[in-house]
Amino acid sequence: MDGDRLLVEPTAAWVLSDLPRLNRAILIDGADPAELRGTLQDKVLPALPAPAELTPREAQQLLVLLSLVGASVARHYQERHPDGKATPERAFDTLTAGPQTLPYRTYFAFLAEQTQTGHCYRDSYASLVRWNVGTIEVRLGGELLSVLPGVFDDGRIRSYTGTAAEERFFLLVKKGEAVELAVNRQLEPLTEAGVRLDDPDAVRRVRTATVLLEALRRLFVQFASLPPERGMPAEHFLDVFRQFAVHWSPDDIPPSGALDPESLKRDFLLGVTMPDYAPHVRRLFPALLAAERAALDRLIAQPTLPQRLAAALEIDLTALPAADPSVLLGLVERHPALVDWYSLLGSHARAAAAHLMLSKKFLFRPQSRRDAAGLGDRPLVSNRRGTTGMTETFLERLTRARRQHLLAPLAQAVKGEMAEIGAHRAVRSTAEVTGQVEILLTG
């Protein structure tokens, strides 16, 4: 916590211990959710400080806590009331907070404003993942490449039911974002006017970003390979964890890993050949923070880095797919940096494919098995699509679009010839140093 200020500490302790216990009692033992509501209204919510008394950091801390509380209240209401999904806001009826006894969602909105981040008026990716989990550092060969801080200093991860699986999943997602932040910090300076994308500094940045993306892919693959007791059991993911991502109002955007802003930024830095992708991302803007929306606005409006590279080298990208292999080989011989950019785009696609693999393992395939067995879907949060509406088919299209990047025609055209001019050496070097990437929870 911040210094000697203790305004948030009682609620933080309650959310770490009592909230998970009550959620487990409701979900496992069939306890009445009225006990949770009663405890909140009698003991927790009235003791909350006025939002204006809080520093922005304290407001962020309390927003994390009330995000978990609000998701719990909303879930239990919607599960117990036949019309709950149609009127999700009714979950918060009678709940008031703070010295002014404000309605819960009004108090939450004032708290969100106090963070000075443009946070939405419900739980979000930022509150549940980035602010909740402690500080993550990414290092390569000992060099610090990114720091993604949390807002608590206690080393704890708050979750819905207090299970290790939920904590591990939140940690996985934040580690992924920290690596993506490191990637983007290598690439974003290359968007500045006058930067040559084939000079030694640019190539160094591209190679570092490639190494980091391979580390991201490995992070996802390793988590998927864990036995359920050391990772996240699919049943818990489908039936417990995801079911807290309910609506607080009919048209809002529930939290999702798809709202990771660094992943979205990377897509617009490197390009996605899918015309409906930018409109899809813009639909997610209300759930992002103000700085994230502004950064994405800028990137969406700009040419991608491969487009900038092609323009600088006077390469007609539309002619590449039909070009003779000898022409493409000559092109790469004249511009060796193309090998490094091609490797970067390939690693971007492989990391995306690993993320799709995670989605299939924990979401789409288990639900397909349930459908085949006639077990149907969950009534609250559908397991047939992501919480932002992305279906398995959409994610497969998106993964193919990343794989069919602007420099993809170089691959088949030069094959072994490309290896002789450096691609094989670049890939081998990447594999050797990927093991030097450290993703550390430091606080």
DSSP-derived secondary structure for 321-343: GGS-HHHHHHHHHH-THHHHHHH
For 134, residues 6+ apart whose C-beta sits below 8 A from its C-beta are 150, 152, 153, 155, 156, 157, 441, 442, 443
Rounded to whole angstroms, the Cα distance separating 190 from 259 reads 24
Q: Where are the beta strands (DSSP E) in 37-158?
A: 96-97, 102-103, 136-140, 143-148
- The encoded tokens of residue 327 equal 């022409």
DSSP 133-194: S--EEEEETTEEEEEE--S-SS-----SS--HHHHHHHHHHHHHHHHHHHHHHHHGGGGSTT
For residue 276, the number of C-alpha atoms closer than 13 Å in the C-beta half-sphere is 5
If residue 11 lies in a helix (H) or strand (E), which one and from where to where?
A: helix 9-29
Rounded to whole angstroms, the Cα distance separating 285 from 262 reads 14
- The encoded tokens of residue 437 equal 């990437």
Contact 262, 148 (CB under 8 A): no
Integer-rounded Cα radius of gyration of the chain: 24
Strand partners, 438: 139
Nearest to 267 by CA among 321, 313, 216, 306: 306
- The encoded tokens of residue 80 equal 């117990």
- The encoded tokens of residue 356 equal 């799709």
pTM metric for this prediction: 0.94
Rounded to whole angstroms, the Cα distance separating 18 from 11 reads 10
Q: Is 72 helix (H, G, I), strand (E, B) or coil?
A: helix
Rounded to whole angstroms, the Cα distance separating 54 from 318 reads 55
Give the position of tokens 């964890």.
241
- pLDDT per residue, tens digit, the chain (443 aa), is 444 357 899 999 999 999 999 999 999 999 999 999 999 999 999 999 999 999 999 999 999 999 999 999 999 999 999 899 999 999 999 999 999 999 999 999 999 999 999 999 999 999 999 999 999 999 999 899 999 999 999 999 999 999 999 999 999 999 999 999 999 999 999 999 999 999 999 999 999 999 999 999 999 999 999 999 999 999 999 999 999 999 999 999 999 999 999 999 999 999 998 999 999 999 999 999 999 999 999 999 999 999 999 999 999 999 999 999 888 888 988 998 999 999 999 999 999 999 999 999 999 999 999 999 999 999 999 999 999 989 999 999 999 999 999 999 998 654 554 455 444 445 445 545 566 899 999 98
Phi, psi (degrees; rounded to nearest 5) at 138? -120, 125
Q: At what angle do helices 290-301 and 261-270 cross, to 10 degrees?
A: 10
Contact 442, 134 (CB under 8 A): yes
- The encoded tokens of residue 76 equal 């239990």
Nearest to 76 by CA among 254, 255, 244: 244
Using the Cα atoms of residue 10, residue 66, residue 34 and residue 237 in order, give the sign of their dihedral. Answer: negative
Q: In what order do the strands lie in the sheet with 143-148?
A: 143-148, 136-140, 437-441
Phi, psi (degrees; rounded to nearest 5) at 141? 60, 30
